[in-house]
């Protein structure tokens, strides 16, 4: 059967010299088309694997693409046969060099370009790529430093900002925001400082009129809002200097409430009061508010003037220090290509063909990079004017799935690129054949989205046009769209109820063997077939709980329960008390906490007995057992912290305390225990980067207390065939036979605080600064801009719905609330008039299994035993000296006699070795070098020479020199039974040693060991001590050579020989 | 196998010297041991590396001529200077001058060129992307070599070159049988050295047959949940440690993870690459010291290393005590604060000693003085060391004197760090003139250098697991091999180009100079793949487990198997077209859940719970960890309806606790605290638990709220006193200047106590103080038309009342019926007198927000008592002094910008105070200390201790309801009704 979009698919594989943009709707095979294109480019010899660049949206997608490309190439290789030897060669080479293909995210790709050409980008080639947390930290650190420098340097701009009374933390947040949008020109309109006087005067005049009419204490229970405001204004009038702008501002802001009305019965003259209220509202609307708006526009301009240099300075500093944010990678790579034609040419040679996936969601800068990489005109700096070389660019995307506006992605960019490709002889191909969803689901999408993708939005470039999906499978009985209806109620209650229903339904569906359509294959459902998607993360945990309750295994992506982990929060005091034994609060908190359970009464008695909340203090007699146990744990933990690397110490503390075990046995134990394990994993990571115990504890505290979002972990993250649970922004590329759209709260519209207009040559950003709901600084004409941004966001919201609706293969269930008979909530547009979800039987869940288990005590013993066994040495290696000299003590005693330290002995040994190896040796020079090498005093040279001269005169030396055969410094090794080496165990040991000198004379070997000890008065003792060692040598030598061997000691001091 | 072939050689030439050239001595020793273990005793078998050979050949010659061999780190410093000297604006590399990465890259390239024997002058210009590169490189190498020559330095390359020369002259020869392990990867220069000494007699000998990458006989595949489980899998399967070896593809993160895990499970292990210095005490100490220098001498860093045991101090002041003293003397940060603050802390104790009356206390104080003096000495030495101009020099002096060592590894680390720091210090050039500000980047770089130092590298040892890298692995002859890290990010690597000499340029150079001289970096992955093949080959007889981590635990990112892993899988399974999903499916999973061989107690429990599905573990858990059982008991107690000993109830006699019985004098603010949160009062006043007092550096804040309040108080007080003493009435115009001057003095005073972290934070609070001054004076100006300010600070129940013109030394006694009473002390901020009526007003300054004062209340559940207590006190005082008029107004005064100068007067009916106090004391006296009912508290240090009040709220309410007839609960509830 030919597909309706067959011609488009053919073009992908055929029109290799034409730039293509493929609009691939959901489920139409994006990656396949990318792989097809790549294989064809290689097979036809247009591109070598080294010059291919494929850019994906995530690291994961990159890895998958690489795998698929390899497999496709392998299929080609085996399918080509002999008919195309040239092609075979190309494919083989590609497979062999697959590692050279550049397949990765834009960021990885840009980073690679920067590392390759750092000079032109003026960036340290070893630059560091900061992740979000690191960026945040660096930003904060820079900001305080920079701000401080401005303050000390008496900056004019700072003075101006101070005179607007904008709070420093608002400035800081605005700064962070601007850093995110460094590629955008932030618009600020210069304007003069507005005069607030007229508005102030009007309010003061009104106060004069109003004040005499104020209610008095006895008249009312409580001040009404209007009175409260008026009294505040009076106070301000009296204590502020209303000639000063800032005081004026404070005054006006206090009075900026048009809707506060007097409660008539409070006021002596209610009617008059009402009149006053109306009058005041007018003043606010006509005078106060417009004045404040002018003021905010003025503040905007002052603040942006102040912040822009900061953004610039921060950027320069990052470049200088080689610390690059994600954004920097793109921006700097863009600049590198844009500003250096030579480099552009170089990379155009390096990457002849660029393939891009998920283009609708990539950063706008990426579009520029792509055009610079492929554009023919290497001198042209404006990417919008570039013509990509024919066939060099292949882009896949789906504008209907563009959902990352909040992360800078912008549909405007997509549309611009599309237009440019068409204009430069490229083509847009559209894929519609959907291999994912069954007919009824495709029909549903085709019916719903043309309505939701408003024509007005499409024409204004805010929305993509819907294109009908062409289903490839008809599906089974139950497939289609359903609604799950929950009666409206309390916020959490609705989610909990829905969660319960969803979980039960899933369990029953699996138990009853509901048949699902899995891409054409029909089979009974398993847990892995279910995907639960929420719009936001907030209440995912309610669903997780419900699934657990039903005994269903699941996996949450992006759940944020880590920071809420009770066990970790509760163990923190213990860790803190260990990190800082003077921290009495932490210590007491641990004792009183859930791991120790000391009562308040016990604590009181402890203090009465003279106990102190300090880890190292003595525990008074008679203290409560809970406290004694707790302090015991603290002491043990201090020991771990002292003796073990930091993360290991924390792990041991957890283990000793029983923390993970405890977590595991509670409800949601999988996630609880998972989080303690995750904390340890994070600790290990910290420790590897050099942090000590205290710092790791601090970090852990930060993670738990700050808003740093760490994704929770389940104890079995590898579990397969589990229900998946995530939010809408994480479902990209995912699919499942059955999809539930959960959490039917209303969708939440953010009030915009930035609008970026990417339609022109230069992208412009308009930033509003707000303190919670209060406007602080606004760009000119903000209301219109905000409305435009909202329109963009609404269009994107509909695309999010599109993404949600197109994940399901056979069943889509939209959760809705029923309020006054109406379906409500974020998914209600999708639920439309869909039938309520069908029943899947009523099977009860089986009783929880109680497994067979061994006892803990036995396990503890077993763990110890296994460690013991593992540690047992299965072999041994011994230096002969160790077995020869009985006790160590004796050795120490003998060594006392050396007098000059072991290095003296080494100098002599090495010198004798040199002399015996090389007749021509310059002894003086060699000895001098040896002394230096052994870090000894050069004046010892003369002494060395005296010794050498004496030795040269000795009988032994003469014999050795004239021997038939001679070896010096001879290493040797042999394996002997352990018992032979004096070790009372079975098995073998390796003995090794070094013989100083061995020579053959008249058919007999002589083994000699030099000794540099002082011999005076102790020769006998030394001989006794050293003889066994040389005897060992001799025995070994004799065994090896089969020739009689004698052993001897040569004491350099006095040139004394001692033979056995 | 290599060992067999060497054994044969040993048998054939038993006595003759046999030399094997190996990549590292560590590998050589393992090979030699394997020969002997194989049953062939040997004699005169020696292992050499290119390095030992070149040292042996040229070492003494060079030393004799006065040359010093540079380490790589030292050579880098010379490269750096060479670059700085010869590169100018016209240079290609100019844009990157000063960036450390440039120097490292240039060092690598220069090494490559020198090792390849490429003379930069011979490189055709067109070989480079940018022609200037050739000139730049030529100049750099020239300058580099010149400095080496001039300062009598020689780098590795130089040693080898000299060795080649000498060997060529025949001055060095060794009558031996030479073998070269063909696994060794030699550069051109190194090959030439071997040629020169071996003169063609060297035999190449190989560990295996590399025609094809053959899989080992026995191999299993595993994928793991994170790298740590990959390693755990190995630790579990290593039944006998010294028969197992773990090989990693990439040092990071496996090496440190392996160290952490083996330490955690008390598994003895050897690490071929050693462990990173920061894992040792001297490493931690050195880094802490540098952090201290880099962070404006913030004591935190010293405290940390002292508490962790990394700092060595004299016996008289053990590290933990030193840490405590640093903190307690409120040094905070700043070089100049140490001596004065510590001296002040000594004086303080000296004064206490003078006043001390008890002998034991005096004894303790004398000791404490000694300790503090010693701490001062230590601090002074540290400051002196910190002032040493050379940074490595300072660090060296520091580790020498102050780094603690507790075990062998610490000792090795200390030695290694000393070597590193000595080397770096030796190369430093003295500053051109005088003091040089410390560059924070230098500190960072030194910390990096320390962190990169590895210590205690070891060969395999009996009874130990061996952990090693891919290059050094596979030589131990162990039976059980684990290869970890075969995901596609770690293996075979990306083949990043060398930015100094790009691959394209290398190709050009090679083709113009001769083939194959400079390696292409794009071939790096292929080389890694070959290394993997050789590794597996040489230990092909062992049983292998090869694995990768399929997820990064930190960010839950998925990871994927390397292509080579698939190849291995295909070969092992004889399925040449197996796909990735087959590999994934054919791999065992190593996760956190393991039932068979738990490594720790925790793992056993996880296995029982999740693998066996046991849900009956609780009783066993309680008996294994009795403290948890106790904790559970506490939890259950808190969950009951009873008010138990875990709900702030203690068993105490009223005599010990009820303010009506104890006879103690209480401050008015303590009473309020007691009423706001009895539990907090219990912790502070009964358990005597105090927060650690210390100066923390917070960039955007100088004084905390309480401190700022005191500052404002002081300034207001002093200003008013002065104005009134001069017989003037406050006026903004007349006094604002004076008030600011007073403010400036106070600011300075505070500044010396609490150094601001930033000037901007200081400036902000200064502005705030002045804004408060303005508000205050304006308010006073208006107000003083009506009233006359009379007294500022009117203490009662305190000795200092003696100096006051109105205060009273005796406490205020409030009779509470039935013969009981409570004694109170306090201090009234402000007493005014109405100009018309002659009556008196009492005001308490507040610098916080008006929030709580917006509601109408009289005593606010007993949490606002000051206005009544002060009224009573003033009445007493007036009576005592015989002053006419009554107190007819009392309240709170907000003389700040936030408070707009508002004055909020509150009154209450006679008897109401007594009523509230009696209720409060009925609660406290019963030994019950509840948390606030509404679960709302302001900032409180005990938040972590009392349990989350917000969460405790519900339980508290339930318990109160269930015990509505309990007298204490009744009293508490009635207290809550007091408006
Ligand atoms: S945090 Fe609140 S409840 Fe806890 S002790 Fe402090 S004031 Fe009391």
Residues forming beta bridges with residue A774, ordered by sequence position:
A771
- Copy the structure tokens of residue B468: 């090693």
For residues B672-693, b (16+ Cβ closer than 10 Å) or e, as one string? bbbbbbbbbbbbbebbebeeee
B879 burial type by CB count under 10 A (0-12 exposed, 13-18 middle, 19+ buried): exposed
Interface test with A, best of B41, B282, B896 (most A CBs within 10 A): B41
Give A 405-444 residues with CB within 8 A of chain B. none
Within 13 Å of residue A679, how many CA atoms lie on the same side as its CB? Answer: 35
Q: What are the tokens at B464?
A: 């130990």
Structural tokens at position B753? 């106590």
B946 CB near ligand 1 (under 6 Å): yes
Atom of ligand 1 nearest to the CA of B937: 2
Residue A666 forms contact with B (CB below 8 Å) = no
pLDDT band at B392, cuts 50/70/90?
very high
> Is the CB of residue A579 less than 8 Å away from at least one CB of chain B?
yes
Task: Quote the ligand 1 centre to B651 CA distance (angstroms).
Answer: 21
Cβ pair B423, B72 in contact under 8 A:
no
In this structure, what token pair is assigned to residue A470?
């062409």
Count of other CB atoms within 10 angstroms of residue A846: 8
pLDDT of residue A888: 45
- The alpha carbons of chain A give a radius of gyration, in whole angstroms, of 41
**Best of B686, B935, B939, B949 for a ligand 1 pocket test (most atoms within 8 Å of beta carbon):** B949
CB atoms < 10 A from the CB of A764, how many? 16
> What is the C-alpha to C-alpha distance for residues B130 and A660, in angstroms, rounded to an integer?
60
3-state secondary structure of A24: strand
Give the distance from residue B801's alpha carbon to the nearest chain A alpha carbon, in angstroms. 33
Task: Identify the closest residue of chain B to A695 by CA–CA distance.
Answer: B304
Q: Which residues pair with B815 in a beta bridge?
A: B821
- The percentage of residues in chain B with a pLDDT greater than 70, rounded to a whole number, is 97
Any atom of ligand 1 within 6 Å of the Cβ of B931: yes
Q: Which atom of ligand 1 is nearest to the CA of B935?
A: 3
Token duo for residue B150: 């001039």
pLDDT tens track for B891-947: 999 998 888 888 888 888 889 999 999 999 999 999 999 999 988 887 889 988 998
Q: Does A598 touch chain B (CB under 8 A)?
A: yes
User: SS3 for A961-988, per residue?
Assistant: HCCCEEEEEEEEEEEEEHHHHCCCCCCE
Enumerate residues 6+ apart whose C-beta is below 8 A from A140.
A172
Residue A128 phi, psi (nearest 5): -100, 140
Nearest Cβ partner of A594 from B252, B497, B635? B635
Dihedral angle over CA of B787, B792, B797, B800, nearest 10 = -150
User: In chain B, positions 221-250, which contact chain A (CB-CB < 8 Å)?
Assistant: 223, 225-226, 228, 238-243
Q: Are A597 and B632 in contact (CB under 8 A)?
A: yes
Give the pairing of strands B480-484 and B543-549: parallel
Which of A59, A117, A221 faces B499 most closely, judged by CB atoms?
A: A117
Verify whether ligand 1 is closer than 6 Å to residue B952 (CB atom): no
Q: Ligand 1 centre from A719 Cα, in Å? A: 43
Sign of CA dihedral A665, A669, A674, A679: negative
Chain B residues in contact with A240 (beta carbon < 8 A): 775, 778, 900
Return the number of other C-beta atoms located less than 10 Å from residue B966's C-beta.
18
Measured from the Cα of B936, ligand 1's closest atom is 2
Question: Which are the contacts of A55, defined by CB distance < 8 A and separation ≥ 6?
Answer: A104, A105, A106, A109, A354, A355, A356, A357, A362, A366
Q: Which of residues 951-970 of B touch A (CB under 8 A)?
A: none
CA distance A605 to chain B (A): 9
Q: How much is the pLDDT for A896?
A: 45
- Atom 2 of ligand 1 has which residue's CA nearest to it? B937
HSE-CB for A215 with a 13 A CA cutoff: 20
Range A246-280 burial, b when 16+ CB lie within 10 A, else e: bbbbbbbebbbbbebbbbeebbeeeeebeebbeeb
Q: What is the DSSP string of B899-946?
A: TTT-EEE----TTHHHHHHHHHHHHHHTTB-PPPTT---SS-TTHHHH
- Give per-residue pLDDT as tens, A187-207: 999 988 999 999 999 999 999
Task: Report which protein residue has its CA nearest ligand 1's atom 1.
Answer: B943
- Asked if the model's pLDDT at residue B177 lies above 70, the reply is yes
pLDDT band at B514 (very low <50, low <70, confident <90, very high): low
Instruction: Classify each residue of B73-88 as buried b or exposed e, where b means 16 or more C-beta atoms within 10 Å of its C-beta.
Output: ebbbbbbbbbbeebbe
pLDDT at B211 over 60: no
- DSSP-assigned beta bridge partners for residue B512: none
**A566 Cβ under 8 Å from any chain B Cβ:** no
Q: Is A214 helix (H, G, I), strand (E, B) or coil?
A: coil
Give the model confidence (pLDDT) of B349-366 as tens digits.
999 999 998 999 999 999
- Beta-strand ranges (E) seen in A501-659 are 515-518, 521-524, 530-534, 554-556
Q: B252 at the A interface (CB within 8 A)?
A: yes
Residue B309 pLDDT greater than 50, yes or no: yes
The CA distance from A1045 to B415, in Å, is 42
Please state the rounded mean pLDDT for residues B290-305.
Answer: 96
Q: Which of residues 952-991 of A touch B (CB under 8 A)?
A: 965, 967, 970-975, 988, 990
Which residue CA neighbors atom 5 of ligand 1 most closely?
Answer: B680
Q: Which atom of ligand 1 approaches the CA of B931 most closely?
A: 3
Peptide bond into A319 cis (omega under 30): no
Give the Å distance between the CA of B678 and the centre of ligand 1: 9
User: In whole angstroms, what separates CA B229 from the centre of its chain?
Assistant: 25
Q: Say whether pLDDT at B200 is over 60.
A: no
CB contact under 8 A, B93 and A222: no
Ligand 1 centre and the CA of B798: distance in Å? 28
Best of A851, A911, A1036 to disrupt the B interface by mutation (most B CBs within 10 Å)? A851
CB proximity under 8 Å: A 234-273 to B: 235-236, 238-241
Inter-chain contact A851–B525, Cβ cutoff 8 Å? no
CB atoms under 10 Å from CB of B706, counted, come to 11
| Residue in B684, B937, B941 to alter for ligand 1 test, most ligand atoms within 8 A of Cβ | B937
C-alpha torsion angle, residues A959, A965, A970, A973 (rounded to 10) = -130
Instruction: Count contacts between A and B (CB, < 8 Å).
Output: 471
- ipTM score of the complex? 0.95
Please give the pLDDT value at position A980.
79
Rounded distance from Cα B673 to ligand 1 centre (Å)? 10
B448 in A contact zone (CB under 8 Å): no
Nearest alpha-carbon partner for A988 in A912, A874, A907: A874
A133 touches chain B (CB under 8 A): no
Mutate to test the pocket of ligand 1, among B931, B935, B951, B952 (most ligand atoms within 8 A of CB): B931
Q: Which residues in chain A land under pLDDT 70?
A: 1, 80-83, 217-219, 707-708, 844-854, 884-899
Cα–Cα distance, A974 to A171 (Å, whole number): 76
pLDDT confidence tier of residue B515, bands split at 50, 70 and 90 = low
Proportion of chain B above pLDDT 90, given as a percent: 73
Instruction: Please check whether residue A897 is in contact with residue A1018, taking contact to mean a CB–CB distance below 8 angstroms.
Output: yes
User: Closest Cα partner for B937 from B675, B692, B724?
Assistant: B675
- Please check whether residue B538 is in contact with residue B208, taking contact to mean a CB–CB distance below 8 angstroms: yes
Instruction: Give CA–CA dist B260/B249, Å, rounded.
Output: 18
B854 pLDDT higher than 70: yes
Alpha helices (H) in A593-739, listed in sequence order: 600-608, 625-643, 646-657, 659-664, 669-688, 693-705
B 688-707 near A (Cβ less than 8 A) = 688-692, 699-700
Hey, of B55, B83, B307, B652, which one would you mutate to test binding to chain A, going by the most A CBs within 10 A of its CB?
A: B307
H-run or E-run covering B69 = strand B68-69
Lowest mean pLDDT among A841-850, B54-63, B854-863: A841-850
Tell me the residue length of chain A.
1060
Q: What's the pLDDT at A154?
A: 85
Distance B958 CA to ligand 1 centre (A): 19
């Amino acid at each position: 059967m030919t597909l309706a979009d067959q011609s488009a698919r053919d073009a992908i594989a055929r029109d290799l010299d034409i730039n293509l943009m493929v609009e691939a709707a959901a489920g139409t095979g994006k990656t396949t088309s990318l792989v097809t294109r790549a294989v064809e480019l290689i097979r036809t010899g247009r591109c070598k694997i080294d010059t291919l660049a494929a850019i994906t949206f995530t690291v994961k997608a990159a890895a998958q693409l690489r795998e698929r490309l390899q497999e496709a190439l392998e299929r080609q290789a085996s399918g080509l046969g002999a008919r195309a030897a040239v092609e075979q060669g190309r494919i083989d080479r590609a497979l062999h060099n697959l590692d050279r293909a550049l397949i990765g995210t834009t960021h990885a790709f840009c980073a690679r370009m920067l590392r390759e050409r750092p000079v032109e980008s003026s960036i340290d080639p070893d630059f560091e790529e900061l992740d979000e947390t690191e960026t945040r930290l660096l930003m904060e650190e820079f900001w305080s430093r920079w701000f401080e420098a401005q303050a000390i340097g008496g900056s004019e701009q700072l003075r101006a900002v101070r005179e607007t009374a904008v709070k420093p933390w608002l400035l800081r947040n605005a700064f962070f925001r601007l850093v995110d949008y460094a590629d955008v020109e932030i618009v600020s309109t210069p304007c003069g400082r507005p005069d607030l006087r007229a508005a102030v005067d009007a309010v003061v005049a009104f106060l004069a009129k109003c004040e005499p009419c104020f209610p008095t204490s006895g008249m009312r229970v409580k001040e009404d809002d209007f009175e409260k405001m008026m009294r505040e204004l009076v106070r301000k009038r009296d204590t502020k200097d209303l000639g000063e702008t800032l005081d004026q501002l404070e005054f006006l802001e206090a009075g900026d409430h048009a809707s506060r009305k007097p409660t008539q019965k409070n006021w002596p003259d209610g009617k008059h009061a009402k009149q006053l209220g109306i009058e005041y509202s007018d003043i606010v609307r006509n005078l106060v508010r417009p004045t404040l708006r002018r003021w905010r526009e003025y503040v905007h301009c002052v603040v942006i003037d102040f912040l822009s240099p900061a953004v610039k300075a921060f950027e320069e500093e990052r470049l200088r220090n080689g610390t690059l944010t994600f954004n920097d990678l793109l921006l700097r790579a863009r600049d590198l290509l844009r500003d250096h034609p030579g480099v552009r040419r170089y990379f155009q040679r390096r990457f002849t063909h660029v393939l891009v996936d998920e283009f609708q969601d990539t950063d706008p800068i990426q579009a520029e990079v792509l055009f610079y990489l492929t554009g023919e005109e290497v001198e042209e700096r404006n990417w919008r004017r570039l013509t990509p070389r024919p066939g060099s660019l292949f882009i896949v995307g789906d504008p209907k799935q563009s959902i990352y506006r909040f992360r800078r992605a912008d549909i405007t960019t997509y549309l611009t690129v599309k237009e440019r490709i068409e204009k430069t002889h490229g083509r847009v191909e559209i894929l519609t054949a959907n291999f994912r969803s069954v007919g009824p689901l495709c029909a549903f999408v085709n019916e719903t989205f043309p309505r939701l993708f408003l024509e007005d939005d499409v024409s204004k470039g805010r929305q993509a046009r819907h294109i009908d999906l062409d289903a490839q499978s008809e599906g089974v009985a139950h497939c289609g769209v359903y609604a799950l209806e929950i009666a409206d109620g309390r916020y959490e209650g609705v989610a909990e109820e829905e969660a319960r229903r969803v979980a039960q339904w899933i369990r029953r569906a699996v138990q009853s063997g509901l048949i699902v359509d899995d891409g054409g294959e029909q089979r009974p459902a398993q847990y892995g077939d279910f995907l639960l998607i929420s719009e936001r993360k907030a209440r995912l945990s309610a669903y997780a709980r419900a699934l657990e309750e039903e005994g269903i295994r699941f996996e949450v992506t992006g759940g944020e329960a880590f920071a809420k982990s009770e066990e970790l929060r509760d163990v923190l005091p213990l860790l803190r008390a260990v990190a800082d034994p003077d921290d009495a609060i932490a210590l007491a908190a641990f004792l009183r906490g859930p791991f120790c359970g000391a009562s308040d009464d016990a604590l009181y008695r402890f203090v009465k007995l003279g106990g102190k909340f300090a880890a190292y203090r003595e525990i008074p007699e008679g203290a409560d057992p809970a406290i004694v146990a707790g302090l015991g744990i603290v002491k043990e933990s201090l020991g771990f912290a002292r003796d073990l690397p930091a993360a290991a110490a924390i792990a041991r503390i957890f283990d000793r305390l029983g923390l993970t075990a405890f977590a595991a046995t509670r409800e949601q134990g999988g996630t609880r225990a998972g989080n303690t394990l995750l904390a340890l994993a994070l600790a290990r990571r910290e420790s590897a980067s050099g942090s000590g115990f205290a710092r790791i504890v601090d970090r852990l505290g930060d993670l738990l207390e700050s808003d740093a979002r760490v994704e929770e972990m389940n104890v079995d993250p590898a579990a397969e065939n589990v229900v998946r649970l995530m939010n809408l922004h994480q479902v990209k590329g995912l699919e499942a036979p059955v999809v539930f759209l959960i959490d039917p709260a209303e969708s939440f519209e953010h009030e915009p605080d930035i609008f970026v207009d990417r339609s022109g040559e230069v992208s412009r950003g308009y930033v509003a600064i707000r303190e919670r709901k209060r406007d602080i600084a606004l760009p000119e004409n903000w209301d219109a801009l905000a409305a435009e941004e909202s329109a963009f966001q609404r269009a994107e919201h509909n695309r999010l719905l599109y993404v949600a609706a197109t994940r399901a293969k056979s069943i889509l269930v939209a959760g809705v609330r029923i309020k006054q008979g109406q379906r409500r909530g974020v998914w209600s547009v999708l639920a439309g008039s869909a039938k309520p979800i069908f029943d899947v039987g009523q099977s009860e869940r089986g009783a929880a299994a109680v497994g067979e288990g061994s006892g803990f005590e036995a396990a503890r013993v077993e763990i110890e035993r296994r460690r013991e066994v593992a540690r047992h040495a299965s072999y041994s290696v011994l230096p002969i000296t160790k077995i020869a000299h009985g006790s160590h003590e004796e050795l120490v005693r003998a060594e006392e006699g050396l007098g000059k330290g072991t290095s003296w002995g080494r100098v002599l040994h090495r010198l004798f070795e040199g002399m015996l190896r090389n007749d021509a040796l310059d002894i003086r020079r060699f000895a001098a070098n040896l002394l230096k090498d052994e870090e000894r005093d050069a004046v010892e040279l003369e002494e060395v020479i005296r010794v050498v001269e004496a030795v040269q005169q000795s009988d032994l030396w003469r014999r050795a020199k004239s021997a038939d055969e001679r070896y010096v410094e001879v290493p040797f090794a042999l394996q002997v039974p352990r018992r032979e080496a004096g070790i009372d165990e079975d098995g073998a040991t390796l003995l090794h040693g070094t013989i100083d000198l061995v020579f053959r004379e008249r058919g007999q070997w002589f083994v000699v060991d030099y000794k540099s000890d002082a011999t005076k008065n102790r020769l006998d003792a030394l001989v006794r001590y050293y003889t066994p060692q040389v005897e060992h040598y001799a025995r070994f030598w004799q065994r090896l050579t089969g020739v009689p061997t004698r052993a001897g000691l040569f004491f350099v001091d006095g040139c004394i020989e001692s033979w056995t | 196998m290599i060992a067999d072939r060497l054994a044969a050689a040993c048998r054939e030439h038993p006595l003759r010297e046999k030399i094997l050239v190996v990549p590292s001595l560590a590998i050589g020793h393992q090979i030699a041991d394997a020969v002997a273990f194989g049953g062939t005793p040997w004699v005169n078998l020696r292992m050499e590396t290119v390095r030992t050979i070149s040292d042996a050949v040229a070492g003494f010659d060079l030393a004799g001529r006065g040359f010093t061999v540079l380490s790589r780190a030292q050579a880098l410093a010379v490269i750096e200077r060479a670059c700085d000297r010869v590169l100018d604006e016209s240079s290609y590399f100019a844009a990157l001058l000063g960036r450390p990465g440039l120097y490292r890259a240039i060092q690598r390239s220069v090494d490559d060129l020198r090792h390849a024997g490429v003379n930069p002058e011979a490189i055709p210009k067109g070989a480079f992307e940018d022609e200037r590169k050739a000139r730049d490189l030529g100049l750099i190498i020239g300058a580099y070599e010149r400095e080496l020559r001039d300062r009598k330095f020689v780098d590795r390359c130089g040693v080898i070159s000299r060795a080649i020369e000498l060997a060529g002259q025949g001055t060095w020869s060794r009558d031996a049988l030479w073998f070269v392990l063909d696994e060794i990867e030699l550069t051109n220069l190194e090959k030439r050295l071997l040629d020169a000494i071996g003169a063609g007699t060297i035999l190449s000998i190989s560990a295996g047959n590399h025609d094809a990458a053959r899989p080992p006989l026995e191999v299993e595949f595993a994928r793991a949940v994170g790298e740590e489980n990959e390693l755990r899998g190995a630790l579990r399967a290593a039944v006998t440690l010294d028969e197992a070896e773990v090989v990693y593809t990439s040092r990071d993160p496996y090496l440190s993870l392996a160290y952490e895990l083996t330490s955690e499970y008390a598994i003895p292990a050897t690490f071929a690459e050693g462990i990173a210095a920061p894992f040792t005490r001297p490493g931690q100490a050195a880094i802490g010291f540098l952090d201290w220098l880099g962070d404006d001498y913030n004591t935190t860093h010293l405290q940390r290393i002292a508490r962790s045991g990394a700092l060595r101090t004299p016996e008289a002041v053990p590290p933990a005590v030193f840490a405590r003293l640093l903190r307690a003397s409120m040094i905070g940060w700043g070089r100049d604060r140490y001596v004065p603050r510590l001296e002040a802390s000594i004086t303080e104790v000296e004064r206490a000693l003078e006043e001390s009356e008890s002998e034991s206390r005096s004894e303790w104080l004398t000791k404490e003085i000694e300790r503090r003096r010693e701490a001062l000495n230590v601090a002074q030495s540290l400051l002196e060391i910190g002032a040493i101009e050379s940074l490595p020099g300072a660090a060296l002096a520091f580790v020498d004197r102050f780094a603690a060592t507790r075990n062998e590894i610490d000792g090795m680390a200390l030695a290694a760090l000393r070597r590193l720091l000595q080397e770096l210090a030796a190369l430093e050039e003295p500053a051109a003139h005088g003091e040089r500000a410390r560059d924070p980047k230098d500190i960072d770089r030194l910390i990096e250098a320390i962190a990169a130092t590895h210590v205690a590298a070891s060969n395999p040892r009996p009874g130990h697991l061996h952990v090693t890298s891919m290059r050094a692995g596979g030589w131990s002859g162990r039976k059980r091999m684990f290869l970890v890290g075969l995901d596609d990010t770690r293996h075979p690597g990306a083949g990043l180009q060398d930015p100094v000499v790009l691959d394209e340029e290398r190709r050009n150079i090679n083709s113009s100079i001769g083939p194959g001289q400079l390696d292409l970096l794009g071939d790096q992955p292929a080389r890694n793949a070959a290394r993997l093949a050789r590794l597996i080959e040489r230990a092909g007889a062992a049983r292998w487990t090869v694995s990768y981590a399929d997820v990064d635990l930190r960010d839950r990112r998925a990871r994927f198997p390397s292509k080579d892993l698939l190849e291995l899988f295909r070969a092992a399974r004889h399925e040449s077209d197996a796909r990735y999903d087959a590999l994934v499916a054919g791999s065992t999973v190593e996760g956190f859940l393991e039932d068979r061989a738990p490594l720790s107690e925790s793992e056993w429990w996880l296995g029982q719970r999740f693998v066996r599905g046991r849900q009956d573990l609780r009783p066993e858990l309680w008996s294994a960890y009795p403290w948890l059982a106790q904790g559970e008991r506490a939890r259950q107690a808190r969950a009951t309806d009873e008010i138990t000993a875990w709900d702030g109830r203690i068993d105490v006699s009223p005599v010990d606790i009820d303010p009506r019985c104890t006879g103690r004098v209480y401050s008015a603010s303590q009473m309020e605290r007691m009423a706001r949160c009895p539990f907090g009062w219990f912790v502070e006043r009964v358990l005597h638990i105090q927060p650690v007092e210390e100066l923390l550096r917070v960039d955007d804040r100088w004084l905390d709220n309480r401190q700022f309040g005191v500052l404002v108080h002081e300034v207001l007080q002093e200003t008013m006193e002065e104005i009134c003493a001069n017989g003037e009435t406050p006026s903004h115009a007349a006094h604002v200047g004076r008030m600011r001057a007073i403010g400036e003095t106070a600011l300075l005073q505070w500044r010396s106590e609490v150094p601001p972290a930033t000037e901007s934070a200081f400036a902000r609070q200064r502005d705030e103080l002045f804004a408060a001054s303005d508000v205050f004076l304006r308010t006073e100006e208006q107000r003083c038309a009506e009233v006359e300010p009379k007294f500022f600070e009117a203490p009662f129940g305190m000795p200092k009342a003696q100096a006051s013109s109105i205060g009273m030394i005796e406490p205020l006694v409030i009779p509470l019926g039935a013969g009981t009473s409570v004694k109170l002390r306090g201090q009234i901020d402000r007493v005014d007198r109405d100009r018309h009526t002659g009556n008196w007003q009492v005001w308490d300054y507040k610098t916080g927000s008006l929030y709580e004062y917006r509601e109408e209340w009289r005593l606010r559940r007993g949490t606002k008592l000051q206005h009544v207590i002060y009224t009573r006190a003033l009445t007493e005082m007036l009576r005592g002094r015989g002053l006419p008029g009554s107190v007819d107004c009392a309240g709170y005064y907000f003389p700040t910008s936030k408070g707009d100068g508002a004055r909020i007067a509150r009154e209450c009916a006679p008897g109401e105070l007594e009523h509230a106090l009696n209720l409060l004391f009925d609660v406290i006296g019963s030994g019950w200390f509840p948390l606030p009912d509404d679960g709302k508290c302001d900032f409180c240090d005990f938040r972590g201790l009392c349990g989350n009040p917000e969460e405790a709220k519900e339980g508290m309410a339930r318990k109160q309801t269930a015990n509505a007839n309990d007298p204490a609960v009744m009293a508490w509830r009635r207290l809550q009704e007091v408006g």
